[in-house]
Amino acid sequence: MIDLLLLVVVTLMAGLAMPLGAYFARIEHIHSSWLEQELRHSVLAFGGGTLLSAVALVLVPDGIEITSLPMAALYLLLGGGIFMLVDMAMVRWQLPASQFLAMLLDFIPESIVVGAIFAIRPEEAMLIAALIALQNVPEAFNAYREFLQSGHFGASRVIMSFSLMALLGPLAGLSSHLWLRDDEGIVSAIMLVASGGILYSIFQDIAPGVRLEKHWAPPMGAVLGFVFGVVGLMVIG
């Protein structure tokens, strides 16, 4: 029972990073010019770095442990393909939620992984949850701005929606913990499909928006985000 409660708390805290990121985007009037340029790009790059660290250090290494080479390649390509189709649909339907949907497509499968491995590798599950929280802040920062720029959503409504979406973390984590923790094949597949989707998202949405002419801090945000993942992995041994 204590383990289940801890799992709920961990996944909920990771999810609450979404309204936190939206709140940070809301206070841009403090130094609007700076936030619009260098800080916003640096935050976006930091999110890309944490996503990359989750893929390179945790999801792919664990996912390929019990998966054959052809299936691993297939799962990665499937994940990228799913994200690509979603991206194409969002553009076709002109929906102002591509960043928000990408954030959920990262958050939900990663929460499933956290729940599935929580009982057998709790340190690794905690690391993934921490990386989820770190990546949710900049992703929510960007998604919030996307919603507001559309003109169809108010600030309070967006933050409330992000807060409600945080509940999907415990729901996904508990479901996988109860039903998937003994099925390593499915968990590995989820890891690799999520990795393929995350890689697509990094190079489609994040990396192109990071670079600024005559500014060098944003790329360092990506390096810093990846370093956080490396440090976390070294801490848990």
Residue-by-residue DSSP string for 140-153? HHHHHHHHHHHTSS
Residues 108-152: tens digit of each pLDDT: 888 998 998 887 888 888 888 988 898 888 888 878 887 777 666
Q: Using CA atoms, how far apart are residues 171 and 190, in angstroms rounded to an integer?
A: 16
Structure token pair of residue 170: 């415990």
For residues 104 and 169, give the distance between their C-alpha atoms in angstroms, rounded to a whole number.
10
Q: Is the pLDDT of residue 200 over 60?
A: yes
Q: Check pLDDT > 90 for residue 12.
A: yes
pLDDT at position 96: 58
Give the tokens for residue 229: 């993942």
Q: Which two structure tokens, joined as six digits, stand for 165?
A: 């979406």
The secondary structure of residue 2, as a DSSP letter, is H
Is residue 19 a contact partner of residue 162, using CB atoms and an 8 Å limit?
Answer: yes
* Residue 2 to residue 96: CA distance in whole angstroms: 40
Token pair for residue 104?
């959920």
Cα gap 111→127, rounded to integer Å: 12
Q: Are 208 and 87 in contact (CB under 8 A)?
A: no
Structure-token pair, residue 20: 């936190």
Backbone angles phi, psi at 133, to 5 degrees: -60, -45
Look up the pTM and report it: 0.79
User: How many CA within 13 A on the CB side of residue 186?
Assistant: 12
Q: Per residue in 23-55, pLDDT tens?
A: 887 775 555 555 556 666 777 777 778 888 888
Distance between CA atoms of residues 142 and 152, nearest Å: 16
Structure tokens at 187: 């968990």
Better pLDDT: 192 or 208: 192
